[in-house]
Structure 1
Amino acid sequence: MREQRLQMHWQPLVDLTTRNVIGHEALVRTPEGCAWRNPDHLFAAARREGCAMALERACVQRATAEAGRAGLGLLFVNLSANAVAAWTEDPPRPPHGQHELPLAGVVVELTEHERVRDLDALREVLTRWRAAGAAVALDDFGDGHSSLRLWAELRPEYVKIDKYFVRDVHRSGDKTKTIRALQQLADTFGTQLIAEGIETVDELMVLRDLGLTLGQGYLLGRPQATPCTALPDPVQQALQSRQIWVLPQEQHVIHRGLTAAALLRTAPALPDHASHQDVLELFQRHHDLESVALLDAQQRPVGLIARHTFQEETLHNPYFRELYGRRPAIMHANTQPLCVEVHTPLERLTEVLTSPDQRYLREGFILTENGRYRGLGTSEQLVRRVTEARIEAARHANPLTALPGNVPITQHIERLLHNGQPFVACYADLNHFKVYNDQYGYWRGDGMIRLLARCLTSVCDPRLDFVGHVGGDDFVLLMQSHDWLARVERAVHTFNTEAALLYEASARQAGGIWAEDRHGVRRFHPLTTLSVGVVQVDPAHYVSAESVANAAALAKHHAKQGHVGIQVLSPTAEAPPHCGAGAGAAAAVAAAPVCQ
């Protein structure tokens, strides 16, 4: 520091929308031959010598001086939050005359903000620096436990998303979901987000398509002694592309947040010494009560009596009242009932549905809180809740193929329409599949559907082409690859070839199987093949995801009716605006080229 031998390197910050370098982050480097080979070693030595804050200040002074002379645009300088809070003198000043305000264009990037000791002092210093023209950024957001509080307290102009959330964002639906949540926070606080640590084109394109406008990372420019003024050509070309990247699917977990409390039904109970006559009278007063719990003095369940079991005993034994009326009912109770705490996650209860002890399905189960009786739950409620949750989950991801379901399909079509670039929508469906499924069973039928999923996904570019599973044997492809037709043709050929191998040898030799049709008439059914209806979508002619889906479904219908592999609906002038499944669309399909 005394010899002024600290060196500055500059890493660019890029506007992903305009593809311009808007500023640089100043990063200290040591001279060649220095005992401390990198900044980490340098700052570790400074901490041992008790001059870490002095080193931070020296770096800022040198960075502002050099940047002021070079005119680098925005200048991001790193300072620990505690170093800023302890900065009692005037703020650092670039060379006089560079700006009307001393710190105009300087962004103070707070590091190590998870260990702030004096928030009031930090806020006071930053207020003075902002008055001198500076802006504030939080570094590595998401890496410290107090980051969110500082965001709310300091209202920084910029927040840098920690590189953990950027790395492989194109493969992680959870990370895209986190970034969307950060965008909502940024809108609330009036903050610009900066994605740091961008190292691949896939990460860059997904971040761009998520709506992030500022980025930093080795892909855009490494720290170097000479400031970067333009992006590398591959990055320019990628950002100029109007194609949008397929976003990774978020994991949709069924039952998340649902507990056994959702099944709770308040029901009267009886003490463990209650008689059979007491149980009979309770059932007579409450006609909708299927079971009754028996409780000890501490309100803990010790038994469960089911109405149907109790009625069978009383109806089949004419002397039941005389023999048992005054005797304790617990002698005919299930003394090992299923007791479930109300805070138990619902997915734990799905085991009840497959339990070898089917009494739980007939009698229901007891719900407790801290071991004390709260009420009853029924198997009907449990089945309904689990079914509803699984149906909702299937709308997000098909359980058989794990491909995106209806909700993400719709969302991706909307993204493509909003982007304004033409794309191709394909609707794939199997011919004569029901007969195969009936003949060989659902297990082998599921295998054929999984084969279709593999054939479709294998021909698609995972960055540009989206594959969704509507349900059953219906699939949707949303393609931006320029060679989409060759890809679809390859999928049809591969499926038709491999699907034939799923039949018995005799059926393959005959070219099909004899079976009853849906009207009960026995006839010959050819081997299962694939038909694909294709729509070349001009977003100017479609206003909703539903209209695109309708047109693709109509093209698929014509492909199946015409017994062809691929039917293409071309974006002709005759295709009606806001195309749906109307007569105009049918005319356009009829005029389109057909691929066998």
Structure 2
Amino acid sequence: MNAPLPLHCLPPLRAQTLIQHELLSTLFQPIMRLDKGEIYGHEALVRGPSGSPLEFPDALFAAGRREGLSAELEMHCALQALRDWSAQELPGKLLLNMSASALAHASAPSQWARGLETLRELRIAPSSLVIELTEHERVADIEGLRRTLAGLRQHGVGIALDDFGDGRSSLRLWSEIQPDLVKIDKYFSHDLPAHAEKLQTFRALLQLAETFGAQLVAEGIETAEELRVLRDLGVSHGQGWFLGRPTARGITVPPEPALEVLTSKDIAVLPELRRAAASGVTAERLVLKAPAVAQDCSHEQLYRLFEAHEQLHAVAVIDEAERPVALVDRSQFIARWAKPFFNDLYGRRACTLFANSTPLIVDADTGIEALTSILTSTDQRYLKEGFIITRRGRYLGLGTGEQLVRSVTEARIEAARHANPLTFLPGNIPLSQHIDRLIASGRSFVAAYADLNHFKPFNDEYGYWRGDEMIRLLARVTSSHCDSQRDFVGHVGGDDFVVLFQSEDWERRCEDIVVRFNELARSLFDPEALQAGGILAEDRHGERRFHPCTTLSIGAVRVAPGSLSRPEEVASAAAAAKRHAKHGRLSIYVMEA
């Protein structure tokens, strides 16, 4: 092999020049098994001459396309990676990036025979290779690609789908080629602990991976917190600077900081959506299949329709295209019909004469929460008459105010179990799930139950608005004194909050919460109350008496591994500690589980 020429002796850099003069090199970035804390393998990353315009892959392969050398350049990069890999004797698999077109070229009988010979010369087993399929959007012949991949699999070569989720990836391609690994674009790992929507995406992708028989590789892991969340989600493989940067030599053992995270019993505080989740219920669920009438339907005909369908609360009037134009309320119509001479005067007239020509019309896909404005609108006819439900403008059926109130109430109750609508903190369900994970981790933790003293008199005296402000104050103070990566703050309802501490200094944090809240809560009282040290208000028995200013009590229970086995046991123990704190008029009470 000829020695590479120095850069200053070369003509202006082109992909052909780099191939001809052997100026490409390979860096290896490790991929780890997050479930085992082991090196799974390395991805080969090509580099052009350092400091040159073609040093990095995007510019290099763009030059290759301009010169019509795409397949040749990819083949040369793969060969260079194989040579460099063989020299390093690194553990695990070698992941090679290849496009579908380059793969088809490499799998031609003559090329494949030459490739197998090269592998034998370099003492690399085909089973140690994984082909990462790139440039998903350029796959035109999926059937041909499947045949190519089937041939590779016969020799033990693994298949990976690269950068899934980057906007160019295809769910159909995942389904068609059934890869062993799917690498998830780094966007979804970046700052994952702070983005609940990214976490939900990973959960959905894990379900897809289980369906298709694949394993996920999370790319772009740069922090311990990101790694901990991915580990707890059950993502099996990971790649990123926190696990190892690309180097010419690769690594043989995982980095110590990464191992510390993977072997730690600490669990991640998974991000929750910071708003009450929508129920997913739409207006279609409220549809009552009800007959409609044409615009020329007479009052007499409409009366017979109401007589035949006693359950009808209203009837929609539609035009020839089945678009609703009016709504007739049953009770109002019957009241008019019962008046003397109504039938004689109006019986044969069109029913649109007294109909509501501006009824509420909603599309079937409208969310329940979007319909809550009906409940507070100044025009209460909508609650009484109901509303018309359409699909693409055509009549589908009717909805009633009673149904709407019930559905909105149910949706809000269910949403509050996931996220409290006042503080947007996680509710009972996420709290129970986090306790489950803490128990399963086998580590000790502290469950602290925070509750306000003398809150009811305050709320009764100053009204719900100021009461809500005090609850939001408690949420802010509690959250600000907890480690968002280690401590879970939940709002179980009213003025009751639960904190699940993994922080070693949890007791100091509790003390700081109590002191800070008691200090700030005084600002919500009037000057007269502050001067008196409290307020005169009715107690729970209806008797008017003096109540001190609102303060905070926290009951904490230390939960040792194996001491409690269910979330409800932890909740009961924390509630008991809280009762001790309140009855003893203590700021903080601590007990063992």
TM-score using structure 1 length: 0.89
Give the structure 2 partner of residue 355 of structure 1. 377
Mean Cα deviation higher: 235-244 or 215-224 = 235-244
> How big is the shift at 1:158?
1.7
> How big is the shift at 1:21?
2.8
Q: Say yes or no: does 1:489 pair with 2:508.
A: no
Alignment partners' CA distance in 1, 2:555 and 2:303: 64
Give the structure 2 partner of residue 197 of structure 1. 220
Give the structure 2 partner of residue 219 of structure 1. 242
- The answer as to whether partners of 2:279 and 2:411 remain within 8 angstroms in 1 is no
Change in CA separation of 1:132 and 1:276 when aligned onto 2, cut-off 3 Å: closer
Alignment partners' CA distance in 1, 2:52 and 2:542: 89
- The answer as to whether partners of 2:29 and 2:45 remain within 8 angstroms in 1 is yes
> How big is the shift at 1:184?
2.0
Q: Secondary structure at the match of 1:222?
A: coil
Q: Secondary structure at the match of 2:467?
A: helix
Mean Cα deviation higher: 549-558 or 338-347 = 338-347
Give the structure 2 partner of residue 118 of structure 1. 141
Which residue of 506, 521, 526 maps to 2:548?
526
Give per-residue Cα distances to partners, 1:341-379, cap 9 Å, x unaligned.
Answer: 334443432222222222222222223345444332211
Q: Say yes or no: does 1:408 pair with 2:425.
A: no
- The answer as to whether partners of 2:133 and 2:161 remain within 8 angstroms in 1 is yes
Give the structure 1 partner of residue 12 of structure 2. none
- The answer as to whether partners of 2:35 and 2:234 remain within 8 angstroms in 1 is no
- The answer as to whether partners of 2:274 and 2:425 remain within 8 angstroms in 1 is no
How many residues get paired? 569
Give the structure 2 partner of residue 503 of structure 1. 525
Give the structure 1 partner of residue 23 of structure 2. 5
Give the structure 1 partner of residue 65 of structure 2. 47
Mean Cα deviation higher: 140-149 or 517-526 = 140-149
Q: Say yes or no: does 1:132 pair with 2:151.
A: no
Give the structure 2 partner of residue 79 of structure 1. 98
Which residue of 293, 300, 305 maps to 2:328?
305
- The answer as to whether partners of 2:275 and 2:424 remain within 8 angstroms in 1 is no
Unpaired runs of 5+ residues, structure 1, are 572-596
Mean Cα deviation higher: 181-190 or 528-537 = 181-190
Change in CA separation of 1:35 and 1:312 when aligned onto 2, cut-off 3 Å: closer
Mean Cα deviation higher: 416-425 or 382-391 = 382-391
- The answer as to whether partners of 1:114 and 1:144 remain within 8 angstroms in 2 is no
Change in CA separation of 1:378 and 1:135 when aligned onto 2, cut-off 3 Å: same
Unpaired runs of 5+ residues, structure 2, are 1-18
Which residue of 111, 120, 138 maps to 1:96?
120
Give the structure 2 partner of residue 332 of structure 1. 354
Alignment partners' CA distance in 2, 1:297 and 1:148: 42
- The answer as to whether partners of 2:276 and 2:424 remain within 8 angstroms in 1 is no
> How big is the shift at 1:128?
3.0
Give the structure 2 partner of residue 584 of structure 1. none
Q: Secondary structure at the match of 2:73?
A: helix
Q: Say yes or no: does 1:20 pair with 2:38.
A: yes
Q: Say yes or no: does 1:173 pair with 2:201.
A: no
Q: Secondary structure at the match of 2:562?
A: helix
> How big is the shift at 1:287?
3.5
Letter paired with 2:235: L
Alignment partners' CA distance in 2, 1:50 and 1:82: 13
Alignment partners' CA distance in 2, 1:354 and 1:257: 21
- The answer as to whether partners of 1:85 and 1:118 remain within 8 angstroms in 2 is no
Q: Secondary structure at the match of 2:126?
A: coil
Change in CA separation of 1:537 and 1:54 when aligned onto 2, cut-off 3 Å: same
Q: Secondary structure at the match of 1:104?
A: helix
Which residue of 166, 169, 173 maps to 1:143?
166
Alignment partners' CA distance in 2, 1:522 and 1:256: 42
Q: Secondary structure at the match of 2:120?
A: coil
Alignment partners' CA distance in 1, 2:404 and 2:80: 67
Q: Secondary structure at the match of 1:501?
A: helix
Alignment partners' CA distance in 1, 2:276 and 2:543: 44
Give the structure 1 partner of residue 253 of structure 2. 230
Letter paired with 1:82: S
Letter paired with 1:412: H
Letter paired with 2:80: R
> How big is the shift at 1:474?
0.8
Which residue of 404, 408, 411 maps to 1:389?
411
Give the structure 1 partner of residue 176 of structure 2. 153
- The answer as to whether partners of 1:163 and 1:195 remain within 8 angstroms in 2 is yes
Give the structure 2 partner of residue 418 of structure 1. 440
> How big is the shift at 1:520?
1.5
Letter paired with 1:202: E
Mean Cα deviation higher: 239-248 or 143-152 = 143-152
Give the structure 1 partner of residue 233 of structure 2. 210
> How big is the shift at 1:415?
0.8
Mean Cα deviation higher: 244-253 or 515-524 = 244-253
TM-score using structure 2 length: 0.90
Change in CA separation of 1:482 and 1:94 when aligned onto 2, cut-off 3 Å: farther
Give the structure 2 partner of residue 594 of structure 1. none
Alignment partners' CA distance in 2, 1:200 and 1:504: 47
Q: Secondary structure at the match of 1:368?
A: strand
Alignment partners' CA distance in 1, 2:258 and 2:350: 82
Q: Secondary structure at the match of 2:130?
A: strand
Q: Secondary structure at the match of 1:540?
A: coil
Q: Secondary structure at the match of 2:231?
A: helix
- The answer as to whether partners of 1:158 and 1:192 remain within 8 angstroms in 2 is yes
Query: C-alpha root-mean-square deviation of aligned residues, in Å?
Result: 2.4
Q: Secondary structure at the match of 2:247?
A: coil
Q: Secondary structure at the match of 2:524?
A: coil
Letter paired with 1:393: A
Change in CA separation of 1:8 and 1:336 when aligned onto 2, cut-off 3 Å: closer
> How big is the shift at 1:151?
2.4
Alignment partners' CA distance in 1, 2:252 and 2:198: 30
Alignment partners' CA distance in 1, 2:384 and 2:181: 60
Mean Cα deviation higher: 382-391 or 329-338 = 329-338
> How big is the shift at 1:118?
2.4
> How big is the shift at 1:248?
0.7
Mean Cα deviation higher: 382-391 or 469-478 = 382-391
Give per-residue Cα distances to partners, 1:118-160, cap 9 Å, x unaligned.
Answer: 2333233333333333211111112255532232222222221
Alignment partners' CA distance in 1, 2:380 and 2:89: 78
> How big is the shift at 1:452?
0.5
Q: Secondary structure at the match of 1:37?
A: coil
Q: Say yes or no: does 1:447 pair with 2:451.
A: no
Map 1:20-39; keep pairs closer than 5 Å. Answer: 20-32=38-50, 34=52, 36-39=54-57
